Structure 1
Amino acid sequence: MPTDPRWPRVADPGSSGPRVAILFCPGCRWQTRASWMALELFNTFGDALGEIALVPAGSGVFEIRLNNECLHSRARDGSFPELKPIKQRIRDRIQPDRDLGHSEP
């Protein structure tokens, strides 16, 4: 059966596309920051990513992971991530030839 173009594409849970997980502490009310970062990553990478997941986590946690590789950890790195370097790190791993426009150094 053909897919209906009016319905969004849903990533197959078994797909091999890259997965970004944004782990955040809901008790710290960081879900808005996590949601904004997810939207920015989706706007930049779209279908190049298999999934962007928002994952409620423990107290004080804010991490960005790509296929389980921790790209940024608030606890480890001492601050919240800046969007530009996160986009660059993701691009470098999944699409090294991609131009990020204004997000380039």
Structure 2
Amino acid sequence: MKPSIKIEYCPKCHWMMKAAYMGQEFLTTFSDELYSVELIPSEVSGRYTIYIGDKKIFDRKEAGQFIEVKLLKQTIRDIIAPGKDLGHSDKK
């Protein structure tokens, strides 16, 4: 079964648009590899966490900042489609 990505975001911080943008990027880049992207409004203030299944791949509080979408795509690719070429997202 194809994996799903969950993006848990803080609605009080107005991060829904950021979560929707990232979800769109993931669905576009991994259209053949993903089952779904789920946006989850968090009840915890300041939360912005991304999971593949139950595996946490990014936590804004732990990182101390947001991460570039490019780096998230590389992380997701390494987990769900290691051989996939990300084109411009793979260039340094």
TM-score (structure 1 length as normaliser): 0.82
Q: How does 1:7-22 map to 2 (within 5 A)?
A: 16-22=1-7
1:61 to 47, 65, 69: 47
Where has structure 1 moved over 3 Å in runs of 4 or more? Answer: none
Alignment of 1:87 with 2:73, yes or no, is yes
Q: How many residues align?
A: 90
Structure of larger gyration radius: 1
What RMSD, in angstroms, separates the aligned Cα atoms of the two structures?
Answer: 0.9
| Structure 2 gaps, min length 5 | none
What is the CA-CA distance between 1:47 and the residue it aligns to? 2.9
Q: Deviation per CA, 1:24-64, whole angstroms, max 9, x where unpaired? A: 00011100000000001111001310110001112100011
CA deviation vs aligned residue, 1:79-100 (integer Å, no higher than 9, x gap): 0121011101111111111000
User: 1:1-105 to 2 correspondence within 5 Å?
Assistant: 16-57=1-42, 58-105=44-91
Secondary structure of 1:46 counterpart = coil
Please state whether the residue corresponding to 2:5 is helix, strand or coil: strand
Cα offset, 1:77, TM superposition: 0.6
Q: Which amino acid aligns with 1:76?
A: E
Contact 2:6/2:51 (<8 A) preserved: yes
Percent identical residues: 39
- Residue ranges of structure 1 left out of the alignment (5+ in a row): 1-15
Opposite residue 20 of structure 1, the aligned amino acid is I
